[in-house]
Amino acid sequence: MFVWLLLWALSFALMMLYVGKIAPDEALFAALGSAVAATASKIVLEKRLAPLRAQWRCLAQIWRLPKYLVSGTWEVLLVLARQIFLRRPADSLTYGVSFEVGGDDDESAFRRALAIAYTTATPNFVILGIDRERGLLVYHQILKGPIPEMTRRLGAKP
């Protein structure tokens, strides 16, 4: 019961923070929504419906993301300026790079998900998918550049 109350309180606080004001109707809906969220979270946690097994070094690659957010934004702005002022269209390239896909285990699936999420979070990269049969990470770039180090550490082999 303590875990449920903790989950409810966390959900309620986040909902109130999101709304930005305390009004009776907002609080009522937040309380009801938090009860649903806490119940669902408790079921998932107890039944282990969504096991999360990962190597922490894979998860820790997120520290590299701010650098790539800044550099990727700069690359996109350069392409935009080149297109506006010089009338040169973006290169807009699609590539495939070797990727260590792993197996069907939870750790491999989580590593692949992190590679997709972290790399797509950068402005110059969009991961289109992972071809597990060929061992390829397929991505789109607006401006050709190197594969991010975090993506390499998650399995890309340029």
Write out pLDDT tens, residues 95-146: 999 999 998 888 888 899 999 999 999 999 999 999 999 999 999 999 888 9
CA atoms of 32 and 38, how far apart (whole Å): 10
Whole-number pLDDT of residue 157 = 92
Mean pLDDT of the chain: 89
With a cut of 70, say whether residue 49 has pLDDT above it: no
Q: Residue 63: CB partners within 8 Å, gap ≥ 6?
A: none
Could you tell me the pLDDT band of residue 59, with boundaries at 50, 70 and 90? confident
What does the DSSP 8-state code read for residue 131? Answer: E
Q: pTM value?
A: 0.67
The Cα diameter of the chain in Å comes to 64
pLDDT in tens, 21-30: 888 888 899 9
b/e for 118-153, b at 16 or more Cβ within 10 A? bbeebbbbebeebeeeebbbbbebbbeeebbebbbb
114 in the Ramachandran plot: left (φ > 0), alpha (ψ -120 to 50) or beta?
alpha
Whole-number pLDDT of residue 50 = 57
